[in-house]
Structures are given as structure tokens and as C-alpha cells.
Chain A
């Protein structure tokens, strides 16, 4: 190679390099599309909730695009999402976030499913100053690290079951209650536990059993035998769907009588599909229920959302889908208020978010958590083996009276 060719090659590569970096820095908006990125669990242990999340995102993208899209500086843009499958693996999720940002040039992110994966991705988005609106990471520790680019539309995990303790105390005539609790050892459940500890302190309640459940757990007979022996006023269980299903199975088999059973991840449809009427009277913490009276102009009310979702995907939307859809409404609102694609302008607009969606009011606290929406509590009520969620707290939306105490197994048919 002579000198001239060398020079030429160097020149060409320099230009190519420059072009690549140049184009990627503008890849956030391609033509009429605003490109969002998300690593999501389509395979692995979170795949069912990962798919609910994705369906929620897709439903909102389609709806917003159909209703005119996002207007920035007088021009209409549409949303588009690049998805990667993180295999329910935090390391993979962090790699994919890096890839979305550096290779695909994504400048705005949507969250993955679960607190654990959100925790893995947040440091990456923070490093590159990429605003991320997430809908499925509720762990309190996400909001205490001082992240500036993380926004969560959901209530933090410590609030999940506090309401249940308040309810138990109320039923006990305002006096403290005896609490038995079993929590899985993952970020989310441990935060729920912290919430219970706070509530117990606040109400003067006593925690008499405090078990931690391992991840591989499918047998909690020991905890339940203890519960039988010490007779608490309320039993609290949090260990994702697995914990809820194991608890119901063994409580009914061991005939454990507790006046009140409060859990997370215990959607009536899922529980009754596996356990029928045995799941009745369980109290479940939820981010959302379709009967709440919030509304927005894209999806209308929760009921309308549920109907449309059912039509599109063939099942009743779990709250994981609803909150995911809400994340896109937040992004749209922020883009329009920022009236710019500058990351920091969008981020500042996100900070000032104050809006109502069909999913609830959204306003971000200093840590990025949603402070405007309370958790709700529903009770599983059954007719035969057909069960549904009935909202019992907070009283504003309660459609049903809270059934307390749970009848003894010997009295249940």
C-alpha cells in the first residue's frame, strides 16, 4: 500500500466513524418515529409477567399512534419500541440496556419487568443520562439511590400491604394486632416486609412470626404449622405468584385458621384457576383495579381499558399491563411539555409530571416514585369456583364490604 492509499483509507474510515457516531446520536428520532427501547423478559422465569408488560406497552403505542401521536414543535411523531429479550436475567438486562443505548442509539427507555431487573438497568441508564419511565420495579431501594433519570408510575413496594395492617388494626378496635409474616428473599418482597415493620411500629402491633422464604421454595408447611401454634390475627405472605399459590394450597390442606390473610401477587383469576374457592377471602394488594374511577382521553376509564385489552389480547388485563400502558402516556405527556427531544429537557418535563391516567394519578417524588396514587386492596370472593377481585380498601373505591374474620375451615364447604 502506498502512502496515498493509506491516507485515503484513513480518511474514509474516519468519515465512516464520524457518520456512525453522528447518526447514532440522532437515532432517538427516526423520521416520524420516536424510538424507545426496552429489555423485557420474554423467556425465563418472569416471562408471563414480561409478556403482560409488553402487551401493555404495545397497546399504548398503538392507541397513541392512532390518536395522532406525539406533537413536538408542531410536528406529529409516532412511538416505536425496540424490544430485546433479557431472559429474566439481570446481567443480560444490563448488557441489553447498554446495547440499546450505544448501538441502537435509543435515548429514552421503558422499564423491564420486576424490581430486580430494573435495579440492574437503572445504573446504566443513569450513566448515559437516559430518561427511563418504568412501570414494574416497585422496590424501595430504587428510589433511595438518588437516581435522576428514573421515573416509576407505580407505588413503591413498602406501601403494598401497609393498608392491610391498618385494616386489621381497625377491625381490632384500634388496638395493635399480632402479625405472622413470611417473605421471599428478593428485593421486592423484602421491601414489602419493611413496610409491614413500619406499619407494625406505627400501630403498636407485634410481629410474632417473621419467616423468610428461599427463592426455590415450594413448601411452607413449617411456617404454617407455627402459625397454627401461635394463632396470629393476620398472616402476611409475599413471594410473587409462587408464594401466593403455595400459601393457599398449604393453608387449605393444613386447615390453618387465620382471621385475615394478606398477600401480594394474588390475582383472583390466577388463584382460582389453580385453587378454586379455596382461595376465597384472601386479601390482595394491587396497584390498580379496573373499577377505579380514574380516566384519561386515550383509554377512557379502567373498565374501558380492560374491555379493549380483552379484545386485543384475549385476557383480562392484570395490573402489570395497565401500569405499562400508563408509562407511555407519561412519556407522551413529557415530550409534549418539553417540546423538544433534548434528553435533559425531557427529563425535566418528567420531573414536573402531574397528570391523571386511567391507571391513576401520576406525580413523581424526589426519588422518582409515584407519590400521587394509593395502593388498593381487594378481597377474593367466589361463587362456586368462579372467583373475582372485589375492592375493599381504600374506602373511596370499595365496591364490597371487607369480609372479616375469615370463616374457619371446618365451617367452609
Chain B
């Protein structure tokens, strides 16, 4: 336990800002997960690995001399097709099955992706330099890398764009209809197969954006996908499906929670704290559900 954060109040500002900026990024990944969970009833364990793959796309561009920030445009396009093919290859075979089967299948995808990324990009940790510099606040006592601010802004822009797309476009309506009732949508002429593929593609594209942002703010490594999966799972559990403001809020909340856990409990418990919170929330929700059932009797 370390209470330095309470002695130096500026650290609290730093932790909160870091947490919020990071949380917005997590929320973007979580929104993708919520979307496909809601539409296809699939929990995607490979979510984090899709993120990392997106990051490697931005990194490859960086190696080729292109500024990695362009990755936030190129990476989602490529990742959309990756997601689409993944759907055609594996996911369409498990989409109507038990939730457990989908977890197994996506777990398999995660392992294959990790190994492939390791094979192609090597096991070394890589970063892409944005050279965006740093913003200093309060007489240099709080520092915010501009790359983190950039990533939060890009995430928000994409999230807004996505909300509009889901509301206004034909595909967006079809996706929402399928999420509400797949059979009814099918009867009314929605090609649900296509909708599923597109949803998975959109999810992968969101991961692609997040990955490109992670490449310029944090570091990439073939095996760091899992923490992103867990975080987005956690955010979705708290926020529920299909509720974007709640996803954004719970994302930021998680970000701040993580930073504070880091300062107070120590960095070693940072991810552990997220898992612990997940357990508490699952137990709490179960408790609430059980109560409801009693009431229904």
C-alpha cells in the first residue's frame, strides 16, 4: 500500500486524467464487443488480439515511413476485411450455438492470431513514434503525452460517427433489427448472414482503430491482447449491451479505477484489480438477478 497519491494532490489529477484518456480508448474496444455480443450473442476472446493486430498494421506503416497516425484510417479498413473473413471462416459456424462454444472458438482464434503475429512480426516489443510531444499542466507537475490526447479525440470521433451510422444507414438499421430479433428481421427480408458478417467486420475495424492508437501511445507485443479483452468484457458487463453513453462512462471509470489501483495498491495489482472488480460485479449482478427471480415467483 502506498499513500503517496494522497500526499501529493497533483498525482491525483495526473491519475484521473491518465485514466480518463485511457478509458476512452478502452470504451471504443468495449463498444465493438458490446455490438457483436448484442447482435450475435458471441463473447469474443480474440478481441484484444484483434486490437494488437490493428496496432501492428499501424506499426508496419510506420516502418514504411508513413506517419503511424494514418493507421487510424488504414487499419480499420484492413481489419474490417479481416473480421469479415474471420466470420466466414469460423464465427458463422458457431453463431447460433451455445455461448460456451463461441468462447472456445474465439479462444482458438486468439491463440492462432498470437502465434501468427509472433511469427510475422517477431516477439520483440515495438512502438511507433508519433513525435507529438507533451502537454504540461500546472507548472510541469502534470504531464500528458499528446499522443494520449490524440487517441482519446480520435476514439470519440469514431464513436460519434458509429452512432450516427447505426442510426441512419440501412445497414445500421438492419444490425439493430437483427439485435432485437434475428428471426423477425429475417422474415422481414434482412439478410442476417450479411448483417452478422458486417457486425463482426465493424467490431474488428473498431479494434483496428484502437490498435493503431495503442501503437502510438503504449507498446505492442504479440501476447498482450488478453488484458484488452478482459477490460472490454468488464466494461460491457457494467454498462450492458447497446448503451453507448454507459459504455463510454464505464470505460472512463475503469481507466480511473485502474490508475488509482496502480498508485495505491502498486503497479503489480493494476490488472489484478480489474479482475477483482470483475468478480465483484459478476457476483453482484447474480445476486440482483436472484432477487428478481424470487420476486417473479
**Same complex:** yes
Q: In the bound complex, what is the Cα–Cα distance between A230 and B143 (angstroms)?
A: 15
Closest to A50 in B: B123
Count of A-B contacts judged by CB separation below 8 Å? 114
Q: List 10 additional A-B contacts (Cβ < 8 Å) besides A216-B227, A245-B127.
A: A43-B118, A46-B123, A218-B221, A222-B263, A228-B141, A229-B141, A245-B125, A245-B219, A253-B143, A255-B143
Residue from A44, A185, A255 in contact with B268 in the complex, judged by beta carbons closer than 8 Å: A185
Q: In the bound complex, what is the Cα–Cα distance between A48 and B221 (angstroms)?
A: 12
Chain A, residues 240-271, CB within 8 Å of chain B (1/0): the string is 01100110011001110000000000000010
B134 and A253 within 8 A (CB): yes
Residues of B within 8 Å of A120, CB to CB, are none
**Which of A2-10, A206-214, A399-407 has 4 or more CB atoms under 8 Å from chain B?**
A206-214
B49 close to chain A: CB less than 8 A: no
B4 and A249 within 8 A (CB): no
- Per CB-CB distance, the 5 closest pairs between chain A and chain B, nearest first, are A212-B268, A253-B145, A222-B262, A242-B125, A218-B219
Q: In the bound complex, what is the Cα–Cα distance between A217 and B226 (angstroms)?
A: 11
With A47-B122, A218-B224, A242-B125 as contacts: A213 and B268 at CB distance below 8 Å? yes
Q: Which of B240-294 contact A (CB under 8 A)?
A: 259, 262-263, 266-268, 270-272
Q: In the bound complex, what is the Cα–Cα distance between A297 and B166 (angstroms)?
A: 72
Closest to B125 in A: A242
A212 and B134 within 8 A (CB): no
A246 and B268 within 8 A (CB): no
A322 close to chain B: CB less than 8 A: no
B218 and A219 within 8 A (CB): yes
B222 close to chain A: CB less than 8 A: yes
B124 close to chain A: CB less than 8 A: yes
Could you list 16 examples of A-B contacts with CB < 8 Å?
A: A43-B115, A45-B221, A47-B122, A88-B123, A182-B267, A185-B268, A212-B266, A214-B268, A216-B227, A221-B259, A222-B262, A223-B262, A225-B18, A230-B4, A242-B125, A274-B126
Q: In the bound complex, what is the Cα–Cα distance between A365 and B119 (angstroms)?
A: 39
B267 and A45 within 8 A (CB): no
A226 close to chain B: CB less than 8 A: yes
Residues of B within 8 Å of A218, CB to CB, are 125, 214, 218-221, 224
A223 and B115 within 8 A (CB): no
Determine which residue in B115, B145, B219, B221 has the highest number of CB atoms from chain A within 10 A of its CB, and name it: B219
Closest to A409 in B: B134
Residues of A with Cβ closer than 8 Å to B?
Answer: 43-48, 88, 182, 185, 211-214, 216-223, 225-226, 228-230, 241-242, 245-246, 249-250, 253-255, 270, 274-276
Q: In the bound complex, what is the Cα–Cα distance between A219 and B136 (angstroms)?
A: 19
B14 and A249 within 8 A (CB): no
Q: In the bound complex, what is the Cα–Cα distance between A212 and B268 (angstroms)?
A: 5
With A228-B141, A229-B4, A255-B140 as contacts: A212 and B267 at CB distance below 8 Å? yes
A211 and B221 within 8 A (CB): no
Residues of B within 8 Å of A221, CB to CB, are 14, 18, 259
Residue from A213, A225, A242 in contact with B15 in the complex, judged by beta carbons closer than 8 Å: A225
Q: Which of B113-162 contact A (CB under 8 A)?
A: 115, 118-119, 122-127, 129, 134, 136, 140-141, 143, 145, 147
Residue from B10, B11, B223 in contact with A45 in the complex, judged by beta carbons closer than 8 Å: B223
Q: Give the shortest distance, in Å, between A316 (CB) and chain B (any CB).
A: 15
Residues of B within 8 Å of A214, CB to CB, are 267-268, 270-272
Q: Give the shortest distance, in Å, between B24 (CB) and chain A (any CB).
A: 15
A211 and B145 within 8 A (CB): no
Q: In the bound complex, what is the Cα–Cα distance between A225 and B10 (angstroms)?
A: 9
Q: In the bound complex, what is the Cα–Cα distance between A222 and B19 (angstroms)?
A: 10
Residues of A within 8 Å of B22, CB to CB, are 219
A226 and B263 within 8 A (CB): yes
A226 and B124 within 8 A (CB): no
B8 close to chain A: CB less than 8 A: yes
Q: In the bound complex, what is the Cα–Cα distance between A219 and B258 (angstroms)?
A: 11
A229 and B226 within 8 A (CB): no
Q: Give the shortest distance, in Å, between B133 (CB) and chain A (any CB).
A: 8
Residues of A within 8 Å of B214, CB to CB, are 218
B119 and A255 within 8 A (CB): no
Q: Give the shortest distance, in Å, between A198 (CB) and chain B (any CB).
A: 21
Closest to B222 in A: A45
With A46-B123, A182-B267 as contacts: A222 and B219 at CB distance below 8 Å? no
